[in-house]
Structures are given as structure tokens and as C-alpha cells.
Structure 1
Amino acid sequence: MNVRKIGLLLLACCAVVGVSAQSTSALRINEVLTNNVNNYVDPFGNRGAWIEIYNSSAGTVQMAGCYITNDPNNPKKYMISKGDLKTKIGPRQVVLIWADGFAHHGTFHTNFKLDPTTENYIGLYDAGGKKLIDEVTVPVLAPDQSFGSPRDGVKERIVLKNPTPEAANYVENSNPKVDKFAEKDPEGVSMSITAMSVVFIALIVLYLFFKLVGKTAIRMSARRAMKAGSATTMAEAKQEADVPGDILAVISMAIYEHQEAEHDYEDAILTVKQVKRSYSPWSSKIYGLRQIPQRKF
């Protein structure tokens, strides 16, 4: 029984080690700048050579304990310190390491410098310092030029005229579909017609929807009236459901008077007289005119 438990424990340890090794193997030397004249500035205000490490996997990678070097004969030249939370690289994310020789500035400052006048070898090794994760030989570059992958994580390396520290190496500045549409419709007439059509169609759909809801509500009221016995046919039920507004006003007033504590007007009779006019008194201007004085003779 104990032997079985020990075997399972060893198997679990091997699995953890395998996952860790597989995670660090996803690291890539994504971009390098050796001749920093007017480029990125570190937190201390210095312009130095920098190395961008990219995580090409879909999971977080812990790079603490890995080694980075500029000497192929000394793979353990600089170890990335443990205990720094920033050594965890998220999926498809990057971290910038300054190759400025100022290791006392922090975890991401190496103890070696890159020489801008010659080729520079850069190697990235695992935590044991034996397995090579990635390597690159950087040629002599012009000021503020970088050398790296044209797209993040790919093995191909080229000279990049526009360095992109802590950012994607390739950014699409155009959309083929948008460019094709703009080519066919430079004045935007089709776009305007399409937009107006969408608006009008939406209004028509809303009109039909509310009309259908209104008819459905009337039918439901008519059915309730027929069930209550106040109407015998659907036509009578619909007519009963369509109660005029003046009748509703009278009923509301009567209910209000009935619910009041004091009934002072028990014998009051409310009469609602419908007035038909060919114009709206609210928009008529005659009510805003002053009356012409009459001269008496």
C-alpha cells in the first residue's frame, strides 16, 4: 500500500516537472535592441539595450530561475531572480529585460551589456541552466533599430525599423473588408442608403409589433367580457371593451367620490358633454388676441 502511494506521489511530481518544463519552453526571445539612442527609457531614466521575452503559450509561465546570457560558453551568466511577482508572464504577454549591466537595479536588469558595434549572442536557458529554450544572434543595428520576430512568437527574425517594446511586433493598420468597401463606394452613398433603410425597417417592425399587441389586448378584453356574461357576441364584447374616454372619466370621478370619507354631494349629477371642433383650441391664436374695444356713440 505504501509502495503504491509513493509511486503515485512520484508520478505526480514528474507530471508537475513536465508541465513546468513545457511552460518555460514556450518562452521566445521576441525582440532585441542593442543601440538605444532615442528609444525606450527604463524606470531609472537610462537608455540601454533591452531584450523582450514573449510567452507564446495559452497559460501563465513562471520564468523565475531561468538564465539569460550573452556568452554561449556561460549559460548561467545571469539568473532571473525568484520571488518577484512580475516574473510571471501571462498568455501572449511580454516582459522586458534591460541588458545594461546594472543588476543592482532589480530583477529585470542583467549583469552584462550588449555591444552595439558587434554581433551579440543571446541565449535563454531553463531553471537548470542546461536546456536551451531559445537563442538569437543579433547583427549590428542602426541606432534605434531592433531585431526580432515579424510576428510575436515566430522563429523567423528580421530587422524591425520601428521597435515595439512591450507591445505587439506587428499591428494591422488596415482592414481589407473596409478598404474594399471604401474603394467601391468612395462617396458613402451606399452606406447612407443602407443606414436609412435599417432605420425605416426598424420603425415599420415596431409599428407592426405595437399594432399586433394592441389588437391582442382588445381580443383578450373581449373574451373576458364574454366569459363574464356581459356580452353575447365578439362584436358586442369588442364594443364594450372600447369604452370612450368621457365615460371612463365619469366612472373614475364616481369611484373617487364614493371612496371619500365625507359625502357632501350625494345628489350631484355629473354631465360630460363632448364638444366637436374642427380645430384644436390649444393651437388657436384667437385666444391670445386682445379684444378690440367698442366705441359707443
Structure 2
Amino acid sequence: MLTKEKTIGFIGTGVMGKSMARNLHQDGYKINVYTRTKKKANDLLELGASWKSSTAELAAASDVIITMVGYPIDVEEVYFGEAGILENAKAGSFVIDMTTSKPSLAKTIYQKAKERNIHALDAPVSGGDVGARNGRLSIMVGGEEEAFSALLPLFDVIGKNIMRQGEAGAGQYTKMVNQITIASTMIGVCEAIVYAKKAGLDPERVLENISSGAAGSFSLSVLGPRMLAGDFSPGFYIKHFIKDMTIALESAEELGLETPGLSLALKLYKELAVNGEEDSGTQALIKWFEAQ
């Protein structure tokens, strides 16, 4: 079982990664940090986290390495090659990719890590900036049961709904299920809000009324009020959601499935991105409907 004497290396301190690393530090873990833009880690360094100047340096100095980066290509960059995690991590250490990425890539990382006696888990998360800040993320894990059990104390600090779904890649497949669900739900929330306004209702009262019923969801109760307030700051970037939906669509096609709701959501979000909204939060989808 993981103890507080072990050092956690964290690569990627964006909107969610920063809060996750902060929660681990505040719980008593020693934290090493590396990110391509050092100023993004300043808050953590001020709290006492240790800066490492490269992926290789961080990997060599850490017992557990967590990655929370942007895209599958970023995952490949930090894990593979002479300067990557797998070439520099200590035998017996753990690597956890919490980026939403390709299931096939998670399986490759697992196999290459196993060859070097490194334990690898894919553990993408859901819950946005609020869940990350409050340590209440849903964590979907793929990998060996023994590694999952050893790291459960760490997961308990950053999440509250933590489940191992199967072998390597299962965490990423589960995250795709999550994103497919959200994609159509976001369309429904936006359509509902616009409908309420057109019907002359007070949309705030409507959301309050329906959020505890069968229509209830994170998108409705958390992102709906942000839409009404005109708050489009990113708890989760549109550009990253487009990445996730693209992975999900490609994966669905590999499985021989048609996903019309996912396809429509991806189309609408891509239109928003072209119109300059790629760095907005996913709740900015309401703008597409309001413009009709």
C-alpha cells in the first residue's frame, strides 16, 4: 500500500491537474512537478512542491508518476523515447495516465511499462474543475488489480467514485462512455434552456425545479446556471472535449457502432471552435442554440 513517504511526480498542471496535485500535497504527499510552462506550476511551488526541469528528471525522482496532459500526442511524448517516463522511471514504480486518451495507447503504455517492471494504470477522470478542486472526481481505472489496490489511498484523496473497470485500456473505454453520455446531455440542456426562454418561463426557476427529478445531471445543475449567468470560463475546454469526442467516435467505429448523438454534438462543438470558442468551457454550446 502507498505511504506518505513515497514521492508523487505530477506532469501537467492545467485547470484540473493543478487542483489534483494540490490536494495530494495538502494530504501530506511529497510532490514533484514538471510542466512545459513553469509559471502554470507557480501556485504549487509556493505551497512547497519541488520543481523538476524535465520529464526524465521527474520520473527518476518519483515513486508514482501521474500524467494529466492534453492530447494523445502529448501522452506519447511524455511516456516514450530516451527522455520519456518509461526510460527513466525506477523499476517497481507506478505510472498513472489520467489524461483522457486512446484505449489503444493505454494498452501500449501498459505493455512497455511491464517490460521494465513498472506498474501502469490508465485512470481518466470526470467531474470538471469543481470535482478536481473538491477532491470528488470520478476515477475510471484500467490495469492490474494489485496496482490499483496499492494506489487506492492516493485515488481516495482526489476522488470519491473510484472503480477499477478491468485490464489496461478499460479506464479509457469507460471515459469514452462518460463522454458519449455528456455529449448528448449537453445538447438536451441547451435546447431545454432555450425552449424555457421562448416559452416565457424564468429559466433559473425551471432549472431549480427539474434538477432533482429525472432530468437531473451535472450538466443541468452545474453548467446550466453558468450558461444563464453568461459564464463561459473553462471548467473543461471545448477544444479538449472535441478531442475526447473524436477519440470516442473513432473507438465506436472500431467497435462497429453508430453514435448519432455523439456525431451531432461533435459537429456543433467544431462549429463553435471555428468561431473562436475553442478555449471556452463546454457550457458555451448554448451560444450555438441562441444564435438560431
TM range (shorter): under 0.3
TM-score, structure 2 normalization: 0.22
Greater helix percent: which structure? 2
TM-score, structure 1 normalization: 0.21
